Amino acid sequence: MSSLANIHFYDLHPPLANLKEEVLQGLSTSPKAISPKFFYDEYGSQLFDQITELEEYYPTRTEITILEEYADEIVAFLGKDALLIELGSGSSQKIRLLLDALKPAAYMPIDISKAHLLKSAQTLFNDYPHLDIHATCADYSDHFHLPYNPEKVPKAAFFPGSSIGNFEPSQAYAFLKRVADFLGKNSTLLIGVDMKKDPQRLNEAYNDAKGVTAAFNLNLLQRINQELDANFEMDYFKHYAFYNPQLGRIEMHLMSNIPHEVHIDGQAFYFKENETIHTESSYKYTIDEFQALAQTAGFQAVKVWTDKARLFSVHCLRVI
Ligand code: AVI
């Protein structure tokens, strides 16, 4: 416990120019694509929180079950008194399952959504007033430095939710390598990974009956209209998501219903009927596939936990 416990905030958020540059570039390629990291404006983050509570969306619920069931073992692997870094902390809910037993020296939630990060850090601090929180707004998918890096304090990282699945495998490799680098030798990474399974189950998880995932996907266009000078018509696009078994991934797209033109920042983009913008991939891994990937990136697979139905896996990896 530190008498200096407080909330510190570090803003490493990329400038708005990144959104513009990446959107203009992504819509100029064929097939058109926009990075899923842009889903998470304030409303997008709220919609994602709603997704995690949907009947069809099993990953969040299942990961929590695993963390609850194996909390003692997990804490033993992570070690106490570390700087606990959470990548993509969102609403900082899952970390609560480990905090009491872990007693970290400090907690560093890292998230791309500033408003969401600040709100969650404040809520957590209200419940854990002795926890020193270093809230960092950053795009962790890109190169970034740890803004708080006390010497001689061991580090442990937590990357829940299978967000690793939203990277292309080559990006996942590069990301894991960067994490291994900033954690340092013998540090631990606890990472949640969604598993390959019956495609029907996967298709349902990304095509929920209430249409929340569709709203989450379409909000990307709304965000671009609001933040860039753009005129996407929501009614001209529909949510389109399916499991691609050859590539072992869910693909999410926004499909144009009719041929039409969209203007962004003075540039025109033409959409054919049924043409799509690829907005997200969500790769699913067997345990062996993921451990092999982690090993090439500089980690040793220490332990893996799954639920009974083997829907989801939580891996403990050590930097070698
Ligand atoms: C954040 N990420 C792990 C989610 C996923 O399942 O790939 C994002 C998501 N997209 C649609 N539903 C959830």
Ligand 1 pocket mutation, candidates 51, 86, 213, criterion most atoms within 8 A of CB: 51
| Distance in Å, CA 247 to ligand 1 centroid | 17
Across 38-59, average pLDDT: 95
In Å, what is the CA distance from 311 to each residue of 58, 120, 205, 251? 8, 28, 12, 18
pLDDT band at 16 (very low <50, low <70, confident <90, very high): low
In Å, what is the CA distance from 282 to each residue of 78, 172, 243, 247? 27, 12, 9, 10
Residue 2 confidence (pLDDT) above 60: no
Cβ(165) – ligand 1 distance below 6 Å: yes
Cβ(193) – ligand 1 distance below 6 Å: no
> Could you give the percent of the chain with pLDDT greater than 90?
88
- In this predicted model, what pLDDT tens digit does every residue of 64-79 receive, in sequence order? 999 999 999 999 999 9
Residue 161 confidence (pLDDT) above 70: yes
pLDDT band at 91 (very low <50, low <70, confident <90, very high): confident
Cβ(161) – ligand 1 distance below 6 Å: yes
- Against a cut of 0.85, is the pTM above it? yes
**Atom number in ligand 1 closest to CA 282:** 7
pLDDT of residue 17: 63
Cβ(51) – ligand 1 distance below 6 Å: yes
pLDDT of residue 141: 85
Report the distance separating Cα 236 and Cα 216, nearest Å: 16
Ligand 1 pocket mutation, candidates 94, 166, 279, criterion most atoms within 8 A of CB: 166
Residue 1 confidence (pLDDT) above 60: no
pLDDT of residue 13: 83
Given phi > 0 = left and psi -120 to 50 = alpha, else beta, which region is 79? left
pLDDT band at 231 (very low <50, low <70, confident <90, very high): very high
> Could you give the percent of the chain with pLDDT greater than 70?
98
Residue 15 confidence (pLDDT) above 80: no
Residue 126 confidence (pLDDT) above 80: yes
| Distance in Å, CA 189 to ligand 1 centroid | 20
Based on the number of CB atoms within 10 Å of its own CB, is 319 exposed (0-12), middle (13-18) or buried (19 or more)?
Answer: buried
Residue 107 confidence (pLDDT) above 80: yes
Residue 3 confidence (pLDDT) above 70: no
Tell me the pLDDT of the chain averaged across its residues: 95
Question: Which residue's alpha carbon is nearest to atom 6 within ligand 1?
Answer: 282
Across 23-32, average pLDDT: 97
pLDDT of residue 312: 98
- In this predicted model, what pLDDT tens digit does every residue of 261-314 receive, in sequence order? 999 999 999 999 999 999 999 999 999 999 999 999 999 999 999 999 999 999
Question: Which residue's alpha carbon is nearest to atom 5 within ligand 1?
Answer: 282
| Distance in Å, CA 286 to ligand 1 centroid | 18
Cβ(162) – ligand 1 distance below 6 Å: yes
